[in-house]
Structure 1
Amino acid sequence: MQPAEIPHTSKNFTGVFGHMARYIFITGGVVSSLGKGLASAALGALLQARGFSVRLRKLDPYLNVDPGTMSPFEHGEVFVTDDGAETDLDLGHYERFTGVPARMTDSVSSGRIYSTVLEKERRGDYLGKTIQVVPHVTNEIKDFLKIGDDEVDFMLCEIGGTVGDIEGLPFFEAIRQFSHDKPRGQCIFMHLTLLPYLAASGELKTKPTQHSVKELQSIGIAPDILVCRSEQPIPEKEREKIALFCNVRKEHVVAAYDLKSIYEAPLAYHAQGLDQAVLDAFDISPAPKPDLNVWHDVYDRVHNPEGEVRVAIVGKYTQLEDAYKSIAEALTHGGMANRVKVKIDWVDAEVFDSSEDVATHLEGFHAILVPGGFGERGTEGKIKAAQYAREQKVPYLGICLGMQMAVIEAARNVAGVKTAGSEEFDHEAGKKRFEPVVYHLKEWVQGNHKVERKVGDDKGGTMRLGAYDATLTPGSRVAEAYGTTTIDERHRHRYEVDVAYKDQLEKAGLVFSGMSPDGKLPEIVEWPDHPWFIGVQFHPELKSKPFDPHPLFKDFVRAAKDMSRLV
């Protein structure tokens, strides 16, 4: 039995103004990391469950053009869209909960906005006018918000950071103006705040929420709905107090409690009346009844597993789990498909970079996953993890750099290329130390044109990004897992396995079971004499969803489940 599929298409709600998207602006106050992205994603899923179509967007106030050049320790993972945008990890939440593929036009930063404004100024588009935050920057933000507003019933727009952040002010001013530009009743504001609990007095304190709302009101925005993050149930008296002092209806004060699993969020928010509050705020009546069967099925699979498997993720950013957010979630989805709980252990690849006793760190795991990354640090440890998995017949999934390390391991220890390595590491060290089995990707075909890159190009946006097709070898393990020989997956990499070594490696037993359609770029390798050993150049985790687990993760966890029976 597979998880139920969520409806990706839905009837359109056109209302009295014709087909025009209703806008929901989601803001946050008091502190960051309250869960705006999760609340937005859960609300999108609830609106879908009522038959509406949705699109979700993230507006980030930071001055980076995009998160592509940010350290994973700084920002967590970079989520890549089909059309090649490097975006915030919240867009991963949006996709996982709604099944709606994110686009380049679903993410924007202050850096992108200011870059566009300055480009227009240089071209003379403003006809010599003095360029100001208002109206030029705010107009650019509003133009971004309008993109595709005739395609869906609801547009959910999350503003990053917290109210009062100096860099976020242009975004708050833009959405204030935008709500007035639209017909009355076309936009609402949802504000997330914190209700701290003071154990000494045994009280939930509402004052931080009151001050956050006051700050929002001072810039001309009055929230229609308050989502209050709390560890304790909100007493009726406090709910009434919040409604009174924040000028919202009592039934629009929605509690957001801590959850054991993020996939409880749609059901939890529905139980608290969030989706009904949104429809009431838009005066949509009668409200269509929700079909939450898919989320009940997801809940059941999360909370009622029939076993457990242990998976080691051997990475270099293991101190911050958000650096591998999509991988962790995709493993959870694979577990749901196989009715098992996936227990993840984060193993720092540097721990056994110089250690010969790899088994001490990897014994007892039912599967090993080596994720992507950049730079030489930790790579020798990843190579040893791939060797251990190959020799000990432990299921192995290598993603991006994880595939490259598996190929280098095969070249060194099986194919006789003793000094095999990556051009990336030589470039980093400034001298030639390796025979480059992995080389800098100089050109590739994107659509109908050729893309060329040089080693010295800017870092931002210059990788092979977005969805590309691959052709799988009939009868291979990956073809069986996918159930087809033609796939498309999302990429984010600057270095590639050199196809010139394909024949030598295949003679040694490593099969190149997936290639680009032109046969020039290796996409997948596997050891056919191994229970389950696959390396992929792309990032399959980015397409996995709780109601539609990615086939590779589903099969990988199945292999781990089989392994658990043997251990």
Structure 2
Amino acid sequence: MKYVFVTGGVVSSLGKGLTAAALGTLLEHRGLKITLQKLDPYLNVDPGTMNPYQHGEVYVLEDGAETDLDLGHYERFTSVKLTRKNNATTGQIYESVIHKERRGDYLGKTVQVIPHVTEEIKERIRAAATAGDYDLLITEIGGTTGDIEGLPFLEAVRQLALEVGPGNALFLHVTLVPYLRAAGELKSKPTQQSVAKLREIGIQPNILVCRSEWPLTPDVRQKLALYCSVPLEAVVEELDLEHSIYELPLLLQKERLDELVVRSLRLSLPPADLRDWEAFLQRILAPKYRVRIAMVGKYIEHHDAYKSVSEALVHAGASVHAGIDLLSVDAEEVEKRGPEELLGKAQGIIVPGGFGHRGVQGKIEAARFARERKIPYLGLCLGMQIAAVEFARHVLGLAEAHSTEFRPDTPDPVICLLEEQRHTVQKGASMRLGSSQCHLVPGTKSQAAYRALSARERHRHRYEFNNAYREAFERAGFLVAGTSEDTKLVELLELVDHPWFIGCQFHPEFHSRPNAPHPLFAGFLREALRHSAQ
């Protein structure tokens, strides 16, 4: 088993996750069976209870684990299907250590960070490495070198690298080489100091991946190699991407990053054949068409809050040769200014998931605007629920219809709490989570998009469509197009008299991949293109 440990220095948000994912792309295309893992130093057990403004998107895995958004990058850039073994937090580590101490597993010893916490971290790394028939594990350590909460993780990977021996592990350090306009030059000192911090811990990076706005000059490369004790060829330039994150594997291949890793780990592998990746990228960079999609949400100021949704649109756009002009629309602004001004030029409207009452009325107005104007609509999770509320109010005449999430005393609860959720007190990891089977109704647009009679989809919600209203909805033309495996829960709703008005209770964005876009996103964009041609 081979290990690559990815650390970061100088500042946060450097793109360690994307770098790890792009390296995974290159190594997978060289024939290695790889998997990836994220170690997050925060004390939360998982990000499921975090505010999207704080953390960005919560990415849900097949087994229901609520994880960091970097795991979305890992799955989109490679063929791996990850599980809860691929993400660990300080909260999980300490929770496990304390449970073991209470059971007496440590036989009365004083429980300490070293060796007990570091051993727990190493166990999590080994568990991810041995979860399948893998050749190599890429483990990203979250945070920035020097953060106090990250020290146990760095110590753990230092120990593990020694245990597996030379040629079986390497350290890749992602760092910032800033350009100071006043001085008119790139500065290597922040990287030098970041590497010095790593050395204090006992880690010598093997490869430096240098984030920069400007190309590294030969002098800067030589200085970094000299003062950071790495070979000159191991100073890898990673410039800001001009057009798409999917350029990154090709950029890093030009810098020979994968060749450096392969040689360092004493492997003999053919070069990566990235023709499929290049073809996908070309469809993004040179589309035949453009399509304007309005995404109506409540966290639009935070770019990462809807990361999987925006990437799923890119994937689907590439499949229909369309570039996406994404209009991020604040749902509260729709409430204030009305939908016509903000959504009138949209060729498709998408309402993603979310929690809390803020902006809900704006989303309802967006759904009504799409329904009445025959604009293609795709509702994801809450986006399906608010479409149901809108339909109940303005078509069925149930003026006070609502979700009990937002109005517990509504006389017409078309959306209500799952029965098993009624006595739930704990917030974390207590929703309907993970992958389950969806039965598709033959003859519906949804079933035609999937070209199948069933599909597995990932969920993250507490509230469901109330079956007491199912007959009334279907009589009025809002059909149930998909149900849970036992047929009790409504998974898909679609309007009959509309070119494309579909809401799904699950999160299809988590299954979208560059060369395998999700059928609902692809169908939505095809219809949006037709709408734009009218």
Both structures adopt the same fold (TM-score exceeding 0.5): yes
Q: How does 1:201-220 map to 2 (within 5 A)?
A: 201-220=183-202
Deviation at 1:167, TM superposition (A): 0.4
Say yes or no: does 1:268 pair with 2:248. Answer: no
For 2:406, what is the secondary structure of its paired residue?
A: helix
Go from structure 1 to structure 2 and tell me whether the alpha carbon gap of 1:354 and 1:233 turns closer, same or farther (over 3 Å shift).
closer
Q: Check whether the contact 2:360–2:386 (CA below 8 A) recurs between aligned residues.
A: yes
Kindly report which structure 2 residues correspond to 1:453-464, keeping only aligned pairs within 5 A, or say none.
Answer: 453-464=421-432
Q: What are the superposed Cα offsets for residues 459-489 of structure 1, whole Å, 9 maximum, x if unpaired?
A: 1000000001010110100100000011110
In structure 2, the partner of 1:476 is 444
Give the drift of 1:299: 1.7
Partner of 1:317: 299
Matched, 1:436 2:407: no
Of the three residues 67, 82, 96, the one matched with 1:87 is: 67
- Correspondence for 1:137 among 117, 125, 128: 117
Q: Give me the TM-score of the superposition, normalised by structure 2.
A: 0.98
> For residues 414-425 of structure 1, what are the structure 2 equivalents within 5 Å?
414-425=395-406
Q: Deviations over 1:324-382 (max 9, x none)?
A: 00000000111100101011011111112255x32122101100000100011111111
Which is worse superposed, 539-548 or 432-441?
432-441
Counterpart contact for 2:47–2:68, Cα < 8 Å: yes
Structure 2 residue 308 is the aligned partner of structure 1 residue 331: no
Q: Distance in 2 between matches of 1:149 and 1:349?
A: 43
Question: Any conservation in 1 of the 2:37–2:128 contact (CA below 8 Å)?
Answer: no
- Determine if contact 1:440/1:455 at 8 Å carries over to the other structure: no
Provide the rounded CA distance (Å) in 2 between the counterparts of 1:324 and 1:238.
Answer: 37
Indicate the residue corresponding to 1:146 in structure 2.
126
CA shift in 2, pair 1:343/1:434, >3 Å:
farther
1:374 is matched with 355
| Residue 502 in structure 1 maps to residue 482 in structure 2 | no
* Paired letter, 1:263: Y
Identify the residue that residue 280 of structure 1 maps to in structure 2: 263
Where does structure 2 lack aligned partners over 5 or more consecutive residues?
none
Distance in structure 2 (CA, Å) of the matches to 1:482 and 1:456: 34
The amino acid across from 2:335 in the alignment is: D
State the distance in 2 between where 1:281 and 1:402 align: 48
Aligned equivalent of 1:406, options 383, 387, 399: 387
The one-letter code sitting in structure 2 at the alignment partner of 1:33 is: S
Measure the CA separation in 1 of the matches of 2:185 and 2:300. 37
- Match in the other structure for 1:159: 141
The runs of 4+ residues in structure 1 deviating greater than 3 Å are none
Offset at residue 125 of structure 1 (A): 1.4
Helix, strand or coil: the match of 1:425? coil
Structure-2 separation of matches of 1:170 and 1:256: 28
Deviation at 1:163, TM superposition (A): 0.5
Q: State the secondary structure of the residue aligned to 1:200.
A: coil
What's the TM-score, normalizing by structure 1? 0.92
From 357, 367, 375, give the equivalent of 1:394: 375
Contact 2:292/2:327, CA 8 A, preserved across alignment: yes
2:100 alignment partner in structure 1 = 120
Shift of 1:283: 2.4
The separation in 2 between residues aligned to 1:149 and 1:539, in whole angstroms, is: 28
Helix, strand or coil for the counterpart of 1:73? helix
Residues 1:108 and 2:88 are matched in the alignment: yes
What are the superposed Cα offsets for residues 511-545 of structure 1, whole Å, 9 maximum, x if unpaired?
00101121110000000210100000000001101
- The whole-number CA distance in structure 2 between the counterparts of 1:217 and 1:298 is 40
Residue 207 (structure 2) aligns with = 225
Q: Which secondary structure state, in structure 1, belongs to the residue aligned with residue 457 of structure 2?
A: strand
The one-character-per-residue Cα deviations of 1:438-474 (angstroms, maximum 9, x if unpaired) are 111123xxxxxxxxx3355111000000001010110
Letter in 1 for 2:195: V
Matched residue SS, 1:459: coil
Q: Separation in 1 of the partners of 2:499 and 2:204?
A: 59
1:4 alignment partner in structure 2: none
Identical-pair percentage: 52
- Return the alpha-carbon distance in structure 2 between the equivalents of residues 181 and 484 of structure 1: 48
Indicate conservation of the 8 Å contact 2:424/2:430, yes or no.
no
Structure 1, 126-135 or 454-463: larger mean CA deviation: 454-463
Counterpart of 2:498 in structure 1 is 530
* Deviates further, 337-346 or 149-158: 149-158
Asked whether the equivalents of residues 422 and 434 of structure 1 are also in contact (C-alpha less than 8 Å), the reply is no
1:43 is the counterpart of 2:23: yes
| CA apart distance, 1:433 | 3.8
Per the alignment, residue 334 of structure 2 pairs with 352
Task: Report the Cα distance in structure 1 between the residues aligned to 2:146 and 2:271, rounded to whole angstroms.
Answer: 38
74-83 vs 119-128, which moves further: 119-128
Distance (Å, rounded) in 1 between the aligned partners of 2:377 and 2:153: 45
CA distance in 2, matches of 1:202, 1:388: 52
C-alpha distance in structure 2 between counterparts of 1:130 and 1:256, whole Å: 45
Distance 2:260 2:227 in 1: 19
Indicate if the aligned counterparts of 1:469 and 1:486 stay in contact, CA closer than 8 A. yes
Count of residues in Structure 1 that have an aligned counterpart in Structure 2 = 531
Provide the rounded CA distance (Å) in 2 between the counterparts of 1:442 and 1:187: 49
- What residue in structure 2 maps to residue 99 of structure 1? 79
Alignment pair present for 1:341 and 2:323: yes
Task: Give the equivalent residue in structure 2 for 1:71.
Answer: 51
- Structure 1 unpaired stretches of 5+: 1-20, 444-452
- Answer yes or no: is the 8 Å Cα contact 2:38–2:70 preserved in 1: yes
| 2:342 matched residue in structure 1 | 361
Show CA shifts across 1:163-186 (max 9, x none): 110000000010011111113221
CA contact (8 A) 2:86 2:128 kept: no
